[in-house]
Structure 1
Amino acid sequence: MLLVATVILASCFLTAKLWKRLAKYVMDLFTMRNIIGPAQLPLVGNAHQFEYGGAAFYRQIMELGRQYQDHPMFRIWVGIYPIVVLQKAKSVESILSSSKHITKAFQYDFLHTWLGTGLLTSAGEKWHSRRKMLTPAFHFSILQDFCPVFSEQSRVLLQVLDDQLDADGQAELDIFPYMGRCALDIICETAMGCQVHAQTEQNSEYVTSVANMSEIVMRRLKNPLYYSESLFARSRLSAEQNACLGVMHAFTTGVIAERRADFAAMSEEERRDQMAT
């Protein structure tokens, strides 16, 4: 009897959740009716039309932007979930300048295992406290001290581009991955005080894991089946994600341990000077 009652209760719970989600889907359809976008299939949305690779998907979104360039925004559907793409400065400004509407879409939860709940992924009081904590780090005087890093990594970027163009014998190339690796070199050196040589050592385990993790998050975003944590946990992508997380977390944990050891070895005067800067 207990087993039967448990099954009945579980069925009722799942049915209630299903009807709630379907009701939300109908409401979203009504809300999105006046926002232009590509034709979608019921329940599937536009998921069947999405390109597989990240670069191809990016070009696809850019093409939609050109198609709807006379509109401030357009929408796409990932299964039963709508996504609104803002493409006019006025529309973007109203969102980015708001300190009230900061609750992130649930898709940001896909980043929690990687980035935790920091400034990018948090909301409410936690977001405000993290924002207040990080604001001094972006003071002009501090950013000015990073200029030598910006300059050096920019020189590395130019050399890499020159070498690539000479090797290919072409007059043009896709600059996006090169800029991404340059940005990774800059952020690691300025924020963590370590060099990962992402531009010159692309096969390093950490650099590869960052690139693979970004691709995994993008693939999950495009596939509504992976929105379910239980389904995703049983997929091959989940195993790949865990492998990437192991490498990245080991790297950052090592950097933190090294910085703590350096700080502990400082004299009291050196610590005061370090805290002052």
Structure 2
Amino acid sequence: MAVLHRLLSQLFSWSGISFLLQLMGTALLAVVGVWTARLLVRHAWYTHRLSCFNKPRTHSWLIGHLGQMQSTEEGLQQVDELVQTYKHSCSWFFGPFYHLVRVFHPDYVKPLLMAPANVTMKDEFVYGHLRPWLGRSLLISNGEEWSRKRRLLTPAFHFDILKNYILTFNSSTNTMHNKWHRLLAGGTTNIEMFGHVTLMTLDSLLKCAFSYQSNCQESTSEYVSAIVELSDLVIDRRLRILHHWDWIYWKTEQGKRFKRALSVVHRFTRDVVQKRRALIDQQRETETLTSMTTAQQRKKDFVDLILLSKDEDGQGLTDEEIQAEANTFMFAGHDTTASAICWMLYNLARHPHYQEKCRQEVMELMQGRDGHEIQWEDLSNLPFTTMCIKESLRLHSPVQAVTRKYTQDVALPGDLTVPQGVICLVSLYGTHHNPEVWTNPHEFDPLRFEPTSAQSRSSHDFIPFSSGPRNCIGQKFAMAELRVVVALTLLRFRLTPGVDPEAGSGSGKVRRLPQLVLRAEGGLWLQLEALNESSLGEPENK
């Protein structure tokens, strides 16, 4: 005991404490030193492997292009310069932390997007920040887990299922248009599109996913507000390099706000899935005529479909997996479609002759009908409107880039090789604005998508929904909603460029804002003029 007492006395003396602190400091420095050495060796190795690619000028070997990629109008113009200078690809470094290959030509994009799913991975640089929200959903998962989920979810996006959503698209659009009519009646003709259209797409998705009548277009919704806040916080986190580390981020005010909004979204989804699971189980157990009739009368929504989906072994998704897919459906479906709709209306506002041609096409389709309702069969009878939608998706792609990593080296044309583990940033914007692919790429010209022109294009010239095994599973859903909303809007309103009240510019031109989806600085403002039956046939003023 005496020996132990002397040891403890020495240990807790000032000299003992000083020795312990010195020992801990030395150990910490050793850990930091080893981590730094490994980081620098890894950086040197990737720098060597990527030397086959052209590399834009950097601040230094260590810092690389850190701070040069901007989510602004100038950032998109920088991509234009990269495309003009390097034609197809270049390497890019965010300090010693992230090593990228940026690709913006169809011949170089194709091998990356068409690579087998078993060697393709979603990287943590972009998608990792979504994991707390979306879990291990189809968007983020990899390998066999992804393959199984893709097989289980694909039936939920079949044409026969999408037909049931057309009525919902009409209904949600009608609600938005009624709001616009009230604003016009009150003297407000200059309207910001993103606010209205985003609520409309959320309204549609809540009905399609959960059969939930949120009334979010007319009144505030805690769930909808939480989704909007989460989207904004993901963007904010991506732009702050120190917030990429969880142990820092969750201690910040932004991290705490993220957790609060996340609890609202997850609680809502969890309650819906659990109640729907209980209802389905109850119907299976009772198998009464009443329950069977009820099940047949109510059209199945997204949650119903994935709850009932089974794989080849008869296994379905767990409640946790279903919640993740429902959250992903809401996240991926509302912002992207809203962006596509807003930019389509903007492009038609700036090109009145194309707007009028689309309007005449829709009017001819609706001739002889009572009321305005777009039906499933109508979607294939809007060829010119669809050409305009595709050109708008090319010129203003909602998603500017997708990223991938690969578990093995991938060969590109010109003896270039993307090393295993490097992040590939496939620039949809760069590909869609590449002058070697598109003549006058910054001009809105829907005639590019005439059937005769489309036949001569490469398969990867136009990829707004990505391509290959990991393309967007909801692209048919998005295109259907786009056509319904655009057609009904043109029947009821004439569009001209608006004025941002804060900027005070009436030019109709806007500064693009690439975030999770393509937005506009200060919003996207259009002037609306209500059309009645007598004015629908009037020629457009040019």
Matched pairs, number: 269
Q: 2:42 aligns with which of 1, 16, 24?
A: 24
**Against the structure 1 CA distance between its residues 258 and 181, is the aligned structure 2 distance closer, same or farther, given a 3 Å change threshold?**
same
Distance 2:102 2:203 in 1: 29
1:207 equivalent in structure 2: 224
1:222 equivalent in structure 2: 239
Distance 1:91 1:162 in 2: 48
Distance 1:58 1:163 in 2: 34
2:272 alignment partner, SS class? helix
Q: 1:143 aligns with which of 162, 171, 177?
A: 162
Q: Aligned-pair distance for 1:236?
A: 1.5
Aligned amino acid, residue 246 of structure 2: E
Q: 1:255 aligns with which of 269, 272, 296?
A: 272
Q: Aligned-pair distance for 1:127?
A: 0.6
Aligned amino acid, residue 212 of structure 1: E
Name structure 1 gaps, 5 residues minimum: 52-56
1:160-175 alignment to 2 at 5 Å?
A: 160=179, 168-170=188-190, 173=192, 175=193
Q: Do the aligned residues in 2 keep the contact of 1:95 with 1:101 (CA within 8 Å)? A: no
Encode CA deviations 1:195-242: one digit per residue, 9 max, x unaligned. 3344333x3221111111111111211221112121112211111111
1:1-277 alignment to 2 at 5 Å?
A: 11-30=29-48, 34-35=53-54, 39-40=58-59, 48=67, 57=71, 59-70=73-84, 71-72=87-88, 77-79=93-95, 80-83=97-100, 86-88=103-105, 91-98=108-115, 99-107=117-125, 108-160=127-179, 168-170=188-190, 173=192, 175-201=193-219, 203-266=220-283, 267-268=286-287, 270=291
**Against the structure 1 CA distance between its residues 63 and 128, is the aligned structure 2 distance closer, same or farther, given a 3 Å change threshold?**
same
Name structure 2 gaps, 5 residues minimum: 1-10, 12-19, 310-542
**Greater strand proportion:** 2
**Against the structure 1 CA distance between its residues 120 and 188, is the aligned structure 2 distance closer, same or farther, given a 3 Å change threshold?**
same
**Against the structure 1 CA distance between its residues 128 and 181, is the aligned structure 2 distance closer, same or farther, given a 3 Å change threshold?**
same
**Against the structure 1 CA distance between its residues 150 and 89, is the aligned structure 2 distance closer, same or farther, given a 3 Å change threshold?**
farther
Q: Aligned-pair distance for 1:122?
A: 0.7
**Against the structure 1 CA distance between its residues 21 and 139, is the aligned structure 2 distance closer, same or farther, given a 3 Å change threshold?**
same
**Against the structure 1 CA distance between its residues 152 and 94, is the aligned structure 2 distance closer, same or farther, given a 3 Å change threshold?**
farther
Aligned amino acid, residue 140 of structure 1: F
> Relative contact order (alpha carbons < 8 A, sep ≥ 6): 1 or 2 greater?
2
Q: Aligned-pair distance for 1:133?
A: 0.9
Encode CA deviations 1:67-114: one digit per residue, 9 max, x unaligned. 334434566654532455555555555444442443111122211111
Identity percentage over the alignment? 22
Distance 1:153 1:102 in 2: 37
Aligned amino acid, residue 26 of structure 1: A
Q: Do the aligned residues in 2 keep the contact of 1:78 with 1:222 (CA within 8 Å)? A: no
Distance 1:82 1:159 in 2: 49
Q: Aligned-pair distance for 1:11?
A: 4.5
Distance 1:75 1:158 in 2: 47
Q: Aligned-pair distance for 1:183?
A: 2.9
Aligned amino acid, residue 186 of structure 1: S
Aligned amino acid, residue 44 of structure 2: V
Aligned amino acid, residue 252 of structure 1: T
1:117 alignment partner, SS class? coil
Aligned amino acid, residue 192 of structure 1: F
**Against the structure 1 CA distance between its residues 86 and 118, is the aligned structure 2 distance closer, same or farther, given a 3 Å change threshold?**
same
Aligned amino acid, residue 139 of structure 2: L
Q: Do the aligned residues in 2 keep the contact of 1:76 with 1:83 (CA within 8 Å)? A: yes
Aligned amino acid, residue 21 of structure 1: L
Q: Aligned-pair distance for 1:161?
A: 5.2
Distance 1:91 1:213 in 2: 34
Distance 1:257 1:123 in 2: 26
Distance 2:170 2:57 in 1: 43
Q: Aligned-pair distance for 1:126?
A: 0.7
**Against the structure 1 CA distance between its residues 167 and 92, is the aligned structure 2 distance closer, same or farther, given a 3 Å change threshold?**
farther
Encode CA deviations 1:158-188: one digit per residue, 9 max, x unaligned. 4445656776543x74x44544333322222
Q: Do the aligned residues in 2 keep the contact of 1:185 with 1:196 (CA within 8 Å)? A: yes
Distance 1:155 1:74 in 2: 47
Q: Do the aligned residues in 2 keep the contact of 1:50 with 1:222 (CA within 8 Å)? A: no
Encode CA deviations 1:39-72: one digit per residue, 9 max, x unaligned. 5566555554666xxxxx3544433333334434
Q: Do the aligned residues in 2 keep the contact of 1:45 with 1:78 (CA within 8 Å)? A: yes
**Against the structure 1 CA distance between its residues 214 and 91, is the aligned structure 2 distance closer, same or farther, given a 3 Å change threshold?**
farther
**Greater helix proportion:** 1
**Against the structure 1 CA distance between its residues 38 and 167, is the aligned structure 2 distance closer, same or farther, given a 3 Å change threshold?**
farther
Pairwise CA RMSD:
3.6
